């Protein structure tokens, strides 16, 4: 493949570097929390013992939902709107979102399908909720969601420009890793190797992430042009809800509401291999109430949702729309949903996506570290602060996350507003770790100490879980509580990996010491002046990312 013109190469290189430095740490947080959220169902079971599965047959939908409806509506009638994600292969527990009518404010509820036990936000599920909100910066509200979308958009720019710069040597870069060379060469090689491995994964995630983060802005002009300004119709066309239907309420006023299980079974038989995934109840107590059942064809990744709409009282089918009849927008959006949330492929693919997510975090860090190593000799204040900030935000997130899980286990049940305390501990300690890294002049020491602390804390997570709930790893294994086993074993492996990585980090006491750097720089300048009066070349992108397996000493020493 022919090489890019030098002008185009430089523009792409500058765009790749600028995008990576500007959004690198924010994108790191998105990928790190996204990797954990692939197991959000398992983490929710870990943090909520009442949701942990026990051997037994699942109860009927009516049996599971009625206690929740009776409790939240105080027996005065069902809420006007209930959205449910049905338990299945990708969602172990029944999820319910209720609002309107007698329930007043909205409620998020999770129900154990075998025992019927249920928990509700905001008092429960603080760990999963914090991770979910942090994934798209929703602690900042809607603006945080938009910010995550723009970060992903710049991430897409970084991926495409990085690929364009290396497109003529992707295979060679993939096979080239030189850890014994200078640090900046080793970081650059690691950046290229990991980036090439995860290229399709990263491209898919930054693209779909940009869409989901900016969908609120995307929907407005789209709805204005095609749906008369009705954003709700945009979401219906995108497959989140069934098409609008008209209900004849007069002829059906005397009938009682239908059983939800029967409606789900009838919807499943509407088409071959159709699996209901979502059920939406609209004013089921009213004569014109309706029930929407949405789902997908088994074994498909690309394609839209199908829907069946029933009259809530008579069970009459008001609308049937097969997945094969879904429109282009439905197909596109629902395919992105499947890919982004890894709702296909089972546990093997979920584990692969998790590992690729961690690898993507490493790509971001090695890119930052390469950029900083190239500029180390300049000894600018902004470069030193960025290096320290990288240690505090990225590596400091590891012990902060461990403390998040430990706080959830050790927080007394009598404490009011547990979510507030969990947030305070996580963000408070994270800020402290960032401050420590900013005040520590030797960046390698910051990384090593934070990894040691984080690794040690993660090793405590299974102990805290066993001590407070009695579900030690061996007991959870015997009970078939695989979600609990997975989180505890993952914590142990993560802790061991962090400590091992800390052991591998060599700390040079002169590193990042301004006086040492300035003295070294002055000495080098004096020696260079005596040797030759000609100016020394600066490091070019093509020098750092050289095709040769062993770059020449002169290339490696350019700064």
Kindly report, residue by residue over 147-179, the tens digit of the pLDDT. Answer: 999 999 999 998 888 888 777 676 676 666 676
In this predicted structure, the answer to whether residue 460 has a pLDDT above a threshold of 90 is yes
* Chain CA centroid to CA 511, Å: 34
| Residues 463 and 496 reside in one and the same domain | yes
Per the listing, tokens 């107590």 go with: 285
**How would residue 184 be classed by pLDDT, with cut points 50, 70 and 90?**
low
Residue range 279-305: mean pLDDT, rounded: 86
> Does residue 522 lie within any of the structural domains?
no
CA distances from 246 to 13, 206, 249, 290, 330 (A): 57, 40, 9, 10, 22
pLDDT band for position 330 (cuts 50, 70, 90) = confident
pLDDT tens column, 21-44: 888 899 999 999 999 999 998 999
Which range, of 114-123, 165-174, 236-245, 312-321, averages the lowest pLDDT?
A: 165-174
Confidence at residue 530, expressed as pLDDT on a 0 to 100 scale: 44
User: Does residue 88 fall inside a structural domain?
Assistant: yes
Top pLDDT among 206 and 413 is at 206
Q: Residues with Cβ < 8 Å from 264, sequence gap 6 or more? A: 61, 86, 276, 279, 293
Residue 81 has pLDDT above 50, yes or no: yes
In a domain, 548, yes or no: no
Say yes or no: 32 and 19 in one domain.
yes
193 shares a domain with 148:
yes
Residues 253 and 310 in one domain: yes
pLDDT score recorded for residue 55: 73
- When divided into structural domains, the chain yields a total of 3
For residue 203, the enclosing domain spans 1-48+131-228+334-375
Q: What pLDDT, in 10s, does the model give residues 193-239? A: 777 788 889 999 999 999 999 988 877 777 777 777 777 788 888 88
In this prediction, residue 352 carries a pLDDT of 92
Among 333, 173, 309, 150, smallest CA distance to 237 is for 333
Question: Which long-range contacts (C-beta less than 8 Å, at least 24 apart) are formed by 59-62?
Answer: 59/113, 59/114, 59/116, 60/259, 60/260, 60/261, 61/86, 61/94, 61/259, 61/260, 61/261, 61/264, 61/279, 62/259, 62/260, 62/261
Region of poorest pLDDT, from 92-101, 262-271, 475-484, 519-528: 519-528
Please determine, for residue 558, whether its predicted confidence score (pLDDT) is greater than 60.
no
Q: What is the mean pLDDT of residues 180-204?
A: 77
- Span 259-263, mean pLDDT? 88
* Top-confidence residue, 447 or 231: 447
Predicted local confidence at residue 498, as pLDDT: 95
Same domain, 221 and 355: yes
Q: Is residue 554 part of a domain?
A: no
Mean pLDDT in residue range 531-556? 36
Residue 14 lies in a domain: yes
β-strand pairing of 94-99 with 118-120? unpaired
Give the per-residue pLDDT at 39: 92
Region 122-133: what's the mean pLDDT? 82
Do both 38 and 170 map to the same domain?
yes
| Domain annotation covers residue 466 | yes
Say how far apart CA 113 and CA 191 lie, in whole Å. Answer: 44
pLDDT band for position 20 (cuts 50, 70, 90): confident
* Least reliable range by pLDDT among 107-116, 204-213, 413-422, 517-526: 517-526
469 and 501 housed in the same domain: yes
- Indicate if the pLDDT at residue 423 is higher than 60: yes
Question: Minimal CA–CA distance to 449: which of 437, 458, 435?
Answer: 437
One domain for residues 385 and 250:
no
% residues pLDDT > 70 (the chain)? 82
Please indicate, yes or no, whether residues 179 and 146 belong to a single structural domain of this protein.
yes
Q: Indicate whether 55 belongs to any domain.
A: no
Query: What are phi and psi for residue 290, nearest 5 degrees?
Result: -145, 160
> How far is CA 142 from its chain centroid?
17
Question: Would you state the pLDDT for residue 77?
Answer: 65
Examine the fold and report which residue of 343, 375, 407 is the final residue of a domain before the chain moves on. Answer: 375
Q: Which residues partner with 295 through β-bridges?
A: 276, 306
Q: How far is CA 414 from the centre of its chain?
A: 31
Domain assignment present for residue 423? The answer is yes
DSSP state of 536: P
Mean pLDDT for the stretch of residues 319-326:
88
Please tell me whether residues 420 and 497 are part of one structural domain.
yes
Do 384 and 479 share a domain, yes or no?
yes
474 pLDDT exceeds 60? yes
Identify the band that residue 542 occupies on the pLDDT scale cut at 50, 70 and 90.
Answer: very low
Distances in Å between the Cα of 489 and the Cα atoms of 399, 465, 493, 495 are 17, 12, 6, 10
Q: Give the model's pLDDT for residue 397.
A: 96
Average pLDDT score over the chain: 81
Query: Are the C-beta atoms of 188 and 238 separated by less than 8 Å?
Result: no
Confidence grade of residue 180 (pLDDT, cut at 50, 70, 90) = low
Percent of the chain at pLDDT > 90 equals: 33
DSSP, residue by residue, 214-263? HHHHHHHHHHHHHSTT-HHHHHHHTTSSPPP-----GGGTTPPPPPHHHH
Which of helix, strand or coil describes residue 41?
helix
Tokens for 553? 């000493």
pLDDT at 256: 63
Whether residues 164 and 256 fall in one domain: no
Instruction: Give the burial string for 25-35 (b: 16+ CB within 10 Å, else e).
Output: bbbbbbbbbbb
């Amino acid at each position: 493949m022919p090489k890019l013109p030098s002008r185009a190469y430089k523009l792409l290189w500058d765009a790749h570097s600028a995008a990576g430095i500007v959004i690198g740490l924010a994108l790191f947080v998105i990928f790190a929390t996204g990797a954990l959220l692939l197991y959000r169902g398992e983490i929710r079971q870990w943090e909520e013992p009442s949701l942990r599965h026990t051997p037994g047959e699942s109860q009927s939908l009516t049996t599971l939902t009625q206690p929740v409806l009776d409790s939240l509506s105080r027996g005065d009638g069902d809420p006007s709107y209930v959205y449910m994600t049905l338990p299945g292969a990708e969602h172990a527990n029944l999820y319910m979102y209720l609002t309107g009518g007698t329930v007043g404010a909205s409620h998020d509820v999770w129900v154990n399908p075998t025992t019927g036990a249920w928990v509700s936000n905001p008092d429960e599920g603080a760990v999963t909720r914090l991770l979910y909100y942090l994934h798209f910066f929703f602690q900042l509200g809607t603006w945080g969601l938009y910010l995550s979308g723009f970060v992903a958009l710049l991430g897409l720019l970084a991926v495409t420009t990085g690929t364009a710069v290396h497109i003529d040597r992707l295979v060679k870069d993939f096979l080239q890793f030189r850890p014994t060379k200078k640090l900046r060469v080793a970081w650059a090689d690691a950046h290229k190797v990991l980036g090439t491995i995860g290229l399709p994964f990263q491209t898919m995630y930054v693209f779909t992430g940009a869409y989901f983060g900016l969908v609120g802005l995307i929907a407005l002009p789209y709805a204005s042009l095609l749906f008369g300004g009705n954003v709700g119709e945009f979401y219906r066309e995108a497959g989140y809800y069934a098409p609008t239907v008209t209900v004849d309420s007069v002829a059906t006023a005397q009938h009682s509401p239908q059983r939800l299980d029967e409606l789900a079974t009838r919807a499943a038989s509407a088409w071959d291999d159709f699996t209901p995934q979502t059920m939406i109840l609209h004013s089921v107590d009213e004569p014109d109430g309706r029930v929407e059942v949405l789902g997908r064809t088994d074994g498909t990744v690309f394609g839209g949702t199908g829907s069946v709409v029933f009259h809530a009282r008579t069970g009459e089918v008001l609308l049937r729309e097969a997945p094969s009849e879904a429109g282009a927008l439905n197909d596109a959006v629902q395919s992105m949903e499947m890919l982004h949330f890894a709702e296909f492929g089972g546990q093997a693919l979920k584990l692969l996506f998790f590992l690729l997510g961690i690898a993507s975090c490493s790509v971001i860090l090695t890119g930052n570290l390469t950029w900083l190593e190239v500029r180390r000799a300049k000894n600018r204040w902004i470069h030193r602060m960025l290096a320290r900030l990288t240690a505090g935000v990225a590596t400091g997130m590891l012990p902060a996350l461990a403390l998040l899980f430990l706080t959830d286990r050790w927080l007394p049940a009598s404490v009011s507003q547990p979510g507030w305390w969990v947030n305070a501990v996580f963000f408070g300690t994270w800020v402290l770790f960032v401050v420590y890294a900013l005040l520590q002049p030797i960046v390698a020491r910051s990384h090593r100490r934070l990894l040691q602390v984080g690794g040690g804390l993660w090793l405590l997570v299974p102990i805290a879980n066993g001590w407070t709930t009695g579900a030690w790893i061996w007991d959870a294994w015997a009970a078939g509580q695989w979600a609990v086993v997975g989180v505890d074993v993952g914590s142990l492996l993560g802790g061991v990996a962090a400590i091992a990585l800390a052991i591998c980090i060599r700390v040079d006491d002169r590193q990042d010491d301004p006086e040492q750097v300035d003295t070294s720089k002055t000495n080098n300048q004096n020696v260079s002046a005596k040797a030759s009066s000609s100016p020394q070349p600066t490091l070019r992108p093509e020098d750092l990312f050289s095709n040769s397996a062993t770059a020449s000493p002169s290339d490696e020493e350019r700064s």
